[in-house]
Structure 1
């Protein structure tokens, strides 16, 4: 039998509460590591985008502007 909308909401809220109870604040070392990894990822993705754009300009020439 399918769950009612209110049962789905109650289930979602109880699962959300359970997750929030087991979470903890990261240490400063963990925070710095996450920031470094995020920054490196942004640089990599930006570099890939720049390379794709440059290759597109080389292939299509400046007529695309």
Structure 2
């Protein structure tokens, strides 16, 4: 049991260190991330639609 407590303590210590190093993104960085995410969703949707269309054409419905 002490090993588990030590692992939990280390986890929180590491998590605290990560939170201290990170920073809140600025508006420009947020917009860029939103655009990239939206583009990724669009690409995945188009690939899925193409696969569906090819499947319909090959199997006839």
Which residue in the other structure is 1:24 paired with? 23
1:1-65 to structure 2, matched below 5 A, reads: 4-62=3-61
Deviates more, 1:43-52 or 1:53-62: 53-62
Give me the TM-score of the superposition, normalised by structure 2: 0.91
Q: Tell me, what secondary structure is at the counterpart of 1:4?
A: helix
Instruction: Mark the runs of 5 or more structure 2 residues left unpaired by the alignment.
Output: none
CA distance in 1, matches of 2:32, 2:60: 41
Query: Mind listing any 5+ residue stretches in structure 1 that lack a counterpart?
Result: none
Return the offset for 1:54.
Answer: 0.7
CA distance in 2, matches of 1:61, 1:11: 58
Any runs of at least 4 consecutive aligned residues in structure 1 with deviations exceeding 3 A, and if so which?
A: none
Shift of 1:5: 1.1
